[in-house]
Homo-oligomer: A and B are copies of this chain.
Amino acid sequence: MNPTIKDVAKHANVSIATVSRILNSTSAGYSEGTKKRVKAAIEELGYKPNAVARGLINNKTQTIGVLFPNVSGMVTSELLHGIENVTHQLGHSVIVCNTASQGKRTLDYLQLLNEKRVEGILFASEMLTDEYYEAIKDMKVPTVLVSTKSQKHLLPYVKVDDQDAAYTAASYLIEKGHRKIGMISGNPDDMIAGLPRIEGFQAALRDHGLLTEKPSVFSAEGFSYKEGMEMFKKLRQEGEDITAVFAASDEMAVGAIASAYKMNIAVPNDISIIGYDNIKISEMAIPPLTTVAQPLREMGEKAAELLFEMLKTGEDGQSIIMPHRIVERESVKEL
């Protein structure tokens, strides 16, 4: 098998303690001469430290776990990118877990991560149920929520303020002169990405005296392209006079654009569309999608930084509200 510290010791004619000290460049306890010899032995044998043994004795695995409901989603992968970046920079590794939004799988993973003794957890883009929270609490490792939050259980989170961002989106449309504005939203029962965006949207309308008795919000189950198409069709059926729509995700927005195209409605000439997220496809759409951007990559980075901060200080972390911003492209017309 692999050479161990023992082999190195033997080869250099010193004790394993000395080798260990040299490996960890412990302050003192060896002369320059022996250091040379040991280094040579290490080189010669091709010795590689065993992180498992190390982990056992100092209770540090240098590994964190990340839970996603959908690894192949475009939002997710951007977050992951950010997370992986800083995690690697700090000499740790990340284990990815695809919960597929299934409770059982999530619990499974939590159990697994616990047994593997990860040092921290990043829980992303999904509701934190009581069950999950209990499991996480039992693990006694720092945890931060990414792009989700929980008012019931206090775990620090990193996300943009969905309501604010939606407010900004709607306000932007109003600024551009639109008065009849519709929304294509996700599930209103979704307390994270559903309701808040709807509320932000309506707040903007209200503040500008544009809120009608029957607000034009069309809610789907999720945030998919397909649902964007469907909801746009519905919206069109109910209100011919709507001149702009706010879609709760870029995927939905792109679906809406496709739907409009099929119905021979020109974007942005006949109707304006603004999205939410700023994922890659938004600039590839035709026309390129104006959208309210979440700094996804950066959110991943900040979340990881926060986690490691907690790991280092042992203190509870402070939640971070990330800034959102409008990125103007070509799907919104000024009236």
Interface residues of A (CB under 8 A from B): 1, 46, 48-53, 55-56, 59, 61, 63, 71-74, 76-78, 80-81, 84-85, 88, 93-98, 105, 109, 111-112, 114-117, 138, 225, 251, 254-255, 257-258, 261, 280-281, 283-286, 288, 297
Contacts and interface: CB of A to CB of B under 8 A. Distances in A.
Given A258-B286, A261-B286, A284-B281, A81 B52 contact: no
A52 to B, nearest CB: 5
Q: Interface residues of A: mostly helix, strand, loop or mixed?
A: helix
A30 to B, nearest CB: 22
Given A53-B56, A81-B72, A84-B71, A112 B93 contact: yes
Count this chain's copies in the assembly: 2
A90 to B, nearest CB: 12
A94 B93 contact: no
Contact of A80 (B51, B96, B280, B297): B96
A51 B281 contact: no
A51 B98 contact: no
B72 A254 contact: no
Nearest to A283: B225
B61 A52 contact: yes
B51 A115 contact: yes
B77 A76 contact: yes
Given A72-B77, A80-B71, A258-B284, A95 B94 contact: yes
Nearest to A228: B284
Contacts of A84: 71, 96-98
A132 B285 CA distance: 38
Given A72-B78, A94-B96, A95-B93, A225 B52 contact: no
Given A114-B48, A280-B74, A96 B98 contact: no
Nearest to A98: B84
Given A50-B117, A52-B116, A115-B48, A77 B88 contact: no
A258 B329 CA distance: 14
A288 B88 CA distance: 38
A55 B115 CA distance: 11
